[in-house]
Chains A and B, each alone.
Chain A
Amino acid sequence: MENLQTIREQALAALNAVQDEAALEQWKVAQLGRNAALTQAMKNLGQLSAEERPLAGKQANEVKLALEAAFDEKRSALEGARLRESLSSEKLDVTLPGHSIALGRLHPITQTLRRVNAIFAQMGFQVYRSRDVETDEYNFLLLNFPPNHPAREMQDSFYVEGGAPDNPTLLRTHTSAGQIHAMREYAAKDPGNPPPIRIVLPGMCYRFEQVSSRSEVQFTQVEGLAVGENITFGDLKGTLTDFAQRFFNANVRTRFRASHFPFTEPSAEMDVECFVCGGSGCSVCKHSGWLEILGSGMVHPNVLRNGGYDPEKYSGFAFGMGPERLTMLRYRIEDIRYFWRNDMRFLEQF
């Protein structure tokens, strides 16, 4: 029985000396193989008496299990060491650049338009689109710009050849031209009792202006229109403040200044607190703390009437904003001409 104990001690000592997997395999053959001392000892169990045999067998088995366990342990230790060694030799230069990905992007104005439309959609405003080429009637007259009215001076138009002399064809100067189309379309559904309206009108507009870093011959605009039986100037303030807080940030303050647009009365410009400096004054807000964002007002009674809504019964508000300006403020873009030039070095930043 001392023999088994010796076998065990010698085997474990030999295992201790093993340094690699080849040596481990040799050890296994030597200690647990057919010719191993333990194997011989176990074969010899048969020569023992019936009384001795169970105990000796048990002991021999214990030694075998112990050696096998030691073998497994050694093997995983060696494997672990080998893995560590190989991992340490497989080091990459993690500072090399990643592979280029051909990402397709939407134009920044599309992105801004989507944001604006989505915010208003959640407030029940649906998108209504109308045409780029309009008549004087829809672009001006029905919006309460009489012929030769001083307000027309603020909007220099591109006229199209061949229009009627008393109702020239022109490129719309604002998406407000769509207001009348929309109101008439809605009113036609039930002329005696026209339904409420809540729409935004995004689209391309045109002005006869020299191109510069601040003005373009074409620009996008989002007009908004809400008409109903109980719509107030307070609703205008609330709705547009909600918009500003969604578009810029939740805490931004708004300010409404009296202004003038022929198709609204009262009219208001909305400023938001400068989100660059937080209102303390910086170059973006020209040290005023405020940024001009949009024009708005209560729909003029003449415009309601022209749209088929009785101004004695219905009221509404309208607003208009420039996605280019919103985008320029948000990303501090200095030159409006970038938008239609479409240089990839500009576009791929968004």
Chain B
Amino acid sequence: MKTPLSWLKDFVDLEGINLEELAHTLTVAGLEVEEIHYIGLPMPSGLQQTKVSGLSWDPEKLVVAEIREVGPHPNADRLVLCRLFDGEQEHTVLTGAPNLYDYKDKGELKPPLKVAYAKEGAEIYDGHQEGMHKTVLKRTKIRGVDSYSMVCSAKELGISEEHEGIIFLPADAKPGTPLADLLGDAVLTIAITPNIARDANIYGVAREIAALTGRALKPMPTDVQAAGPKIDGAVKIDIKDSELNPRFVLGMLRNVEIKPSPGWVQQRLRLAGMRPINNIVDATNYAMLELGEPLHAFDYDVLVQRAGSKTPTILTRPAKQGETLTTLDGVERKLDDFTVLVCDTAGSLSIGGIMGGLESEVTETTRNVLLEGASWNFINVRKTLVAQRMSSEAAYRFSRGVHPAMAPRGVSRGLELMRQWSGGVVDAGLVDEYPKPAEVVQVAISPADAKRWLGVALSNEQMSKILTTLGFEIKQQGDGLLVTVPDHRLDIETGVVGKADLMEEVARIYGYDNIPATRIADALPPQHGNPPLELEERVKDLLARMGIQEVMTYRLTSPEEEARRLPPETTPDDKPYVKLANVISQERTVLRKSLLASVLEIAERNARQRQRIALFEVGPVFHASEETLPDELQRLVVILGGQQQPADWQAADSAAYDFYAAKGVVAELLASLGLHGLKYEPGEHPSFHPGKCARVLAGERQLAVFGELHPQVQSQYDLGAHTLQAITLNLDVLGELVPERFDSRPVPQYPPVIEDLAIVVDESVPAGKVEAMIAQTGGNLLAGVTLFDVFRGDKIGADKKSLAYQLTYQHAERTLTDDEVAKLRERIIRRITQELGAQLRA
């Protein structure tokens, strides 16, 4: 909300206050000042607690001056020369301001015109350039006449964007007075959070400032000079639904003259971000900005005419579904049955609390004004705003809640301003329908509450003083206080919530800074770990130690993007997606089902510029389920491609990541987690090369699938020259398998016997089977079987392969004899020869 400093001064004395400090005080107390816009006042330099903008007027260079005579320019019809006195001396000043033409060639002006005068070197806004750009006034020659100073427009001073003519100052302004002393202002832009909706007006902010600075708050301006007859009989009110419209107030002003508002009013409205229209509309806006109660002015004669010259009745009712109304913005609106309409007997007039209709608006010809101030259910206003996609200053306030007590106050203020600015006469009294009076809220608090909530000892007196400045009424009750909530705010509840609400008010004004920081003295809860998280962290650390980079990716994706992880002809699995109902981008329409697709996208992003791709992600995938909420399943995906070691100037290219490199990662990861005895067998998965894919089984449960990506999948990503290996692992299963602990093995004390064993087997015999058989036959005495060579070639024949193993024989308690080793070796050879058709290789 834009809050002009000059307006605040109507209600609280700000003499001698530092604006930056004031902004900071408000910010710390929950009224965040987002910006201070300076209009002439001196701006701070250096540290800026609050963002600042605007222009300072140099007190030496921007001063009040008087134009004593306006004469013609010798060479230009559109320019005039002014004889001007700046308090010290006279100058000849050249200007093209059209509002000086009337004074041209009139001789000595009596009284002189008071204007804003900028001397050479003054910083002002450039009036001739589109937008607001600062410039420094320089000496120049215009059409042969020396020019070193100027008289200023509102835009040049930064007061508004108007540059139609120069501004005139009050007749009593003294030449030579710094302009900032006379016109200087600043606008605080304050963020209004929902809990301080009561402060979305000048008086509300002034009240906060008064409470925070200890200065006096002037009374709310609600007096009205009503010289007219009693309003009774001029209009009737009929409220159909008091839940939606608890209060409706009308006042009357007769014989108005519609014209522009006084200049200072227009100026304040502009500073507050509203456009001046005419004195009546401006008065409704001004009163709303000042007190927070939105008002609506009707042309009374139009209403009388619509009522067939009878007494008009204003009624409020929910709209019929599909009913239409053309609002002030010219839009014909189709309404819902929860929208509340303000109507008369002839039909609808406006949407309650949001926007007027076209027909009954105040126009140039309006003579008599009926002024509405009402109270609306704020939740219902919100629903209507969302449904109608509309917004207005009135709706902004009503949708956050305005207390019903504000309705007559707002109407009175509006009537008084209209009277002052339009010359009309106000009817005595108001027509006030209030079928559902707001409840008076009372909350009991005590110093014990402050101690419990805030941790600080506050006396009843301290709390009472704070709350009183905010308008609460306080009564001593027992050991504590009975607090009555003032009728301008709706945010305080009863009971324990009310206590919390009041503690917030006390803490805010007492100052968060004044509450000492302490450490929790309460009991420490029972401590327990988070095993799934701890497992994930172990997995991440192990993979990082293997040189693999962690990534974190978008969990929102599209089915099209994820389809790339499958060859084109694959029928997609039938697991449904978790789909978004509101989509912000076609790239993010569903929650991901595949972590593989997520990491492949990242591999693709990096492939062109990296010789080595080694990425992993731990994260959830989402499967729609029969339950309300989808299944969130924790997965690991690793993608490997390119060189296993980064190349450099000395080392030759290292081996590329292939199937066995991926298997090494899987095996090392699982072994490091204490998992042994897992089964690796050929796997099937549409994303993988059918001949280069394996799965890892723990008993019957599939823990992981890994291998080379299917060439058709690879070709759907832009991977450069890389061939990718992938690992997908189910972390939920892993969590169930990983043992909490394991037994270590002693380091052998006796020397091992190490032998090589090279055999030839048919290509169809899996190496894993050979190794398993050797290990099983060797039993306890065979401490290790390590495959160190696989060879194929003419020497051993077609469809054959040679496998060379290093066997380590070891006895835990003694040195093995040659004889024992020989026997064991003999047994192993016999078994693999007989059962696998292996031949010993010389």
Would you call B485 an interface residue if the criterion is a C-beta within 8 Å of the partner chain's C-beta atoms? Answer: no
Chain B residues lying within 8 Å of A99, measured Cβ to Cβ, are 648, 650-651
Chain B residues lying within 8 Å of A131, measured Cβ to Cβ, are 629, 632
From B399, B522, B606, give the contact of A150 (CB < 8 A): B399
Contact across chains for A265 and B555 when beta carbons are under 8 A apart: no
Q: Are A258 and B512 also in contact (CB < 8 A) when A132-B620, A265-B500, A344-B549 are?
A: yes
Pick the interface stretch among B45-53, B107-115, B271-279, B560-568.
B45-53
Q: Are A237 and B515 also in contact (CB < 8 A) when A265-B501, A265-B504 are?
A: yes
Chain A residues lying within 8 Å of B605, measured Cβ to Cβ, are 341-343
Can you list, as one digit per residue, whether each of A255-285 has a CB less than 8 Å from chain B (1) or not (0)? 1111110100111100000000000110000
Chain B residues lying within 8 Å of A53, measured Cβ to Cβ, are none
Contact across chains for A238 and B549 when beta carbons are under 8 A apart: no
Q: In the complex, which residues 282-341 of chain A have their Cβ closer than 8 Å to any Cβ of chain B?
A: 286-290, 298, 300-302, 311-312, 315, 339-341
Chain A residues lying within 8 Å of B650, measured Cβ to Cβ, are 99
From A148, A168, A280, A281, give the contact of B379 (CB < 8 A): A148
Pick the interface stretch among A16-24, A35-43, A83-91, A226-234.
A226-234
Closest B residue to A211 using CB positions: B585
Would you call B507 an interface residue if the criterion is a C-beta within 8 Å of the partner chain's C-beta atoms? Answer: yes
Contact across chains for A258 and B508 when beta carbons are under 8 A apart: yes
Chain A residues lying within 8 Å of B537, measured Cβ to Cβ, are 114
Q: Are A288 and B48 also in contact (CB < 8 A) when A100-B648, A159-B581 are?
A: yes
Contact across chains for A235 and B581 when beta carbons are under 8 A apart: no
Cα A62 to Cα B56 with chains together (Å): 104
From A101, A208, A237, give the contact of B517 (CB < 8 A): A237
Pick the interface stretch among A3-11, A73-81, A122-130.
A122-130
Would you call B548 an interface residue if the criterion is a C-beta within 8 Å of the partner chain's C-beta atoms? Answer: yes
Chain B residues lying within 8 Å of A315, measured Cβ to Cβ, are 452-453
Chain B residues lying within 8 Å of A198, measured Cβ to Cβ, are 520, 524-525
Contact across chains for A159 and B582 when beta carbons are under 8 A apart: yes
Cα A228 to Cα B523 with chains together (Å): 7
Q: Are A258 and B620 also in contact (CB < 8 A) when A242-B519, A340-B554 are?
A: no
Would you call B98 an interface residue if the criterion is a C-beta within 8 Å of the partner chain's C-beta atoms? Answer: no
From A106, A133, A233, A265, give the contact of B630 (CB < 8 A): A133
Contact across chains for B526 and A150 when beta carbons are under 8 A apart: no
Chain B residues lying within 8 Å of A237, measured Cβ to Cβ, are 512, 515-518
Shortest distance between the CB of A306 and any CB in chain B (Å): 12
Chain B residues lying within 8 Å of A164, measured Cβ to Cβ, are 628
Contact across chains for A230 and B500 when beta carbons are under 8 A apart: no
Chain B residues lying within 8 Å of A228, measured Cβ to Cβ, are 520, 522-523
Contact across chains for A104 and B614 when beta carbons are under 8 A apart: yes
Would you call A67 an interface residue if the criterion is a C-beta within 8 Å of the partner chain's C-beta atoms? Answer: no
Closest B residue to A237 using CB positions: B517
Chain A residues lying within 8 Å of B378, measured Cβ to Cβ, are 150
Contact across chains for A102 and B644 when beta carbons are under 8 A apart: yes
Contact across chains for B645 and A102 when beta carbons are under 8 A apart: yes
Chain A residues lying within 8 Å of B530, measured Cβ to Cβ, are 126-129
Chain A residues lying within 8 Å of B517, measured Cβ to Cβ, are 234, 237-238, 241
From B499, B584, B649, give the contact of A209 (CB < 8 A): B584
Shortest distance between the CB of B32 and any CB in chain A (Å): 7
Chain B residues lying within 8 Å of A159, measured Cβ to Cβ, are 580-582
Cα A243 to Cα B379 with chains together (Å): 39
Would you call A169 an interface residue if the criterion is a C-beta within 8 Å of the partner chain's C-beta atoms? Answer: yes
Cα A239 to Cα B515 with chains together (Å): 13
Contact across chains for A134 and B549 when beta carbons are under 8 A apart: no
Would you call A217 an interface residue if the criterion is a C-beta within 8 Å of the partner chain's C-beta atoms? Answer: yes
Q: Are A169 and B629 also in contact (CB < 8 A) when A195-B525, A230-B521, A237-B518 are?
A: yes
Q: In the complex, which residues 1-54 of chain B have their Cβ closer than 8 Å to any Cβ of chain A?
A: 27-30, 32, 46-51
Cα A241 to Cα B512 with chains together (Å): 13
Contact across chains for B47 and A289 when beta carbons are under 8 A apart: yes
Contact across chains for A208 and B30 when beta carbons are under 8 A apart: no
Cα A242 to Cα B517 with chains together (Å): 10
Contact across chains for B456 and A234 when beta carbons are under 8 A apart: yes
Contact across chains for A235 and B197 when beta carbons are under 8 A apart: no
Contact across chains for B622 and A132 when beta carbons are under 8 A apart: yes
Contact across chains for B582 and A158 when beta carbons are under 8 A apart: yes
Q: In the complex, which residues 533-564 of chain B have their Cβ closer than 8 Å to any Cβ of chain A?
A: 533, 537, 540-541, 543-556
Contact across chains for A217 and B645 when beta carbons are under 8 A apart: no
Contact across chains for A239 and B520 when beta carbons are under 8 A apart: yes
Chain B residues lying within 8 Å of A149, measured Cβ to Cβ, are 194, 379
Cα A204 to Cα B579 with chains together (Å): 17
Cα A230 to Cα B504 with chains together (Å): 18
Cα A149 to Cα B612 with chains together (Å): 52
Q: Are A238 and B518 also in contact (CB < 8 A) when A126-B530, A266-B504 are?
A: yes
Cα A286 to Cα B47 with chains together (Å): 9
Q: Are A235 and B519 also in contact (CB < 8 A) when A102-B612, A106-B540, A196-B525 are?
A: yes
Shortest distance between the CB of A202 and any CB in chain B (Å): 9
Cα A169 to Cα B632 with chains together (Å): 14
Contact across chains for B549 and A234 when beta carbons are under 8 A apart: no
Would you call A135 an interface residue if the criterion is a C-beta within 8 Å of the partner chain's C-beta atoms? Answer: yes
Closest A residue to B501 using CB positions: A265
Q: In the complex, which residues 453-499 of chain B have their Cβ closer than 8 Å to any Cβ of chain A?
A: 453-456, 496-497, 499
Q: Are A208 and B614 also in contact (CB < 8 A) when A128-B530, A196-B523, A289-B47 are?
A: no
Can you list, as one digit per residue, whether each of B578-609 has a CB less than 8 Å from chain A (1) or not (0)? 11111011001001000000000010011001
Chain A residues lying within 8 Å of B522, measured Cβ to Cβ, are 196, 226, 228-231, 235
Contact across chains for A232 and B455 when beta carbons are under 8 A apart: yes
Contact across chains for B632 and A257 when beta carbons are under 8 A apart: no
From B30, B555, B609, B610, give the contact of A260 (CB < 8 A): B30
Chain B residues lying within 8 Å of A158, measured Cβ to Cβ, are 556, 580-582, 584
Q: Are A233 and B454 also in contact (CB < 8 A) when A100-B648, A151-B194, A302-B497 are?
A: yes
Contact across chains for B582 and A150 when beta carbons are under 8 A apart: no
Would you call B503 an interface residue if the criterion is a C-beta within 8 Å of the partner chain's C-beta atoms? Answer: yes
Contact across chains for A238 and B453 when beta carbons are under 8 A apart: no
Shortest distance between the CB of B512 and any CB in chain A (Å): 4
Chain B residues lying within 8 Å of A280, measured Cβ to Cβ, are 47
Closest B residue to A206 using CB positions: B556
Can you list, as one digit per residue, whether each of A93-134 has a CB less than 8 Å from chain B (1) or not (0)? 000110111111111011000100000000110111101111
Which residue, B456, B580, B620, has most C-beta atoms of chain A within 10 A? Answer: B580
Chain A residues lying within 8 Å of B651, measured Cβ to Cβ, are 99-100
Cα A234 to Cα B518 with chains together (Å): 5
Contact across chains for A232 and B518 when beta carbons are under 8 A apart: yes
Contact across chains for A102 and B552 when beta carbons are under 8 A apart: no
Would you call B513 an interface residue if the criterion is a C-beta within 8 Å of the partner chain's C-beta atoms? Answer: yes
Contact across chains for A97 and B549 when beta carbons are under 8 A apart: no
Closest A residue to B495 using CB positions: A301
Which residue, A101, A168, A340, has most C-beta atoms of chain B within 10 A? Answer: A340
Would you call A218 an interface residue if the criterion is a C-beta within 8 Å of the partner chain's C-beta atoms? Answer: yes
From B48, B515, B554, B579, give the contact of A233 (CB < 8 A): B515
Contact across chains for B550 and A217 when beta carbons are under 8 A apart: no
Q: Are A102 and B524 also in contact (CB < 8 A) when A149-B194, A169-B629, A344-B606 are?
A: no
Contact across chains for A311 and B47 when beta carbons are under 8 A apart: no
Would you call A163 an interface residue if the criterion is a C-beta within 8 Å of the partner chain's C-beta atoms? Answer: yes
Cα A123 to Cα B519 with chains together (Å): 10
Chain A residues lying within 8 Å of B521, measured Cβ to Cβ, are 230, 235
Cα A190 to Cα B29 with chains together (Å): 39
Q: Residues on A close to B: CB < 8 A?
A: 96-97, 99-107, 109-110, 114, 123-124, 126-129, 131-135, 146-151, 158-164, 168-169, 171, 186, 195-198, 204, 206, 208-211, 217-218, 226, 228-235, 237-239, 241-242, 255-260, 262, 265-268, 280-281, 286-290, 298, 300-302, 311-312, 315, 339-345, 347-348
List 21 A–B pairs whose Cβ atoms lie within 8 Å, in order of A's numbering: A99-B650, A104-B548, A110-B552, A149-B194, A158-B584, A159-B581, A160-B579, A196-B524, A210-B584, A218-B554, A218-B555, A228-B522, A232-B456, A233-B454, A257-B27, A258-B30, A258-B508, A260-B30, A342-B605, A343-B605, A348-B549
Closest 8 CB pairs between A and B? Answer: A232-B455, A234-B455, A258-B30, A228-B522, A102-B547, A104-B544, A100-B646, A260-B193
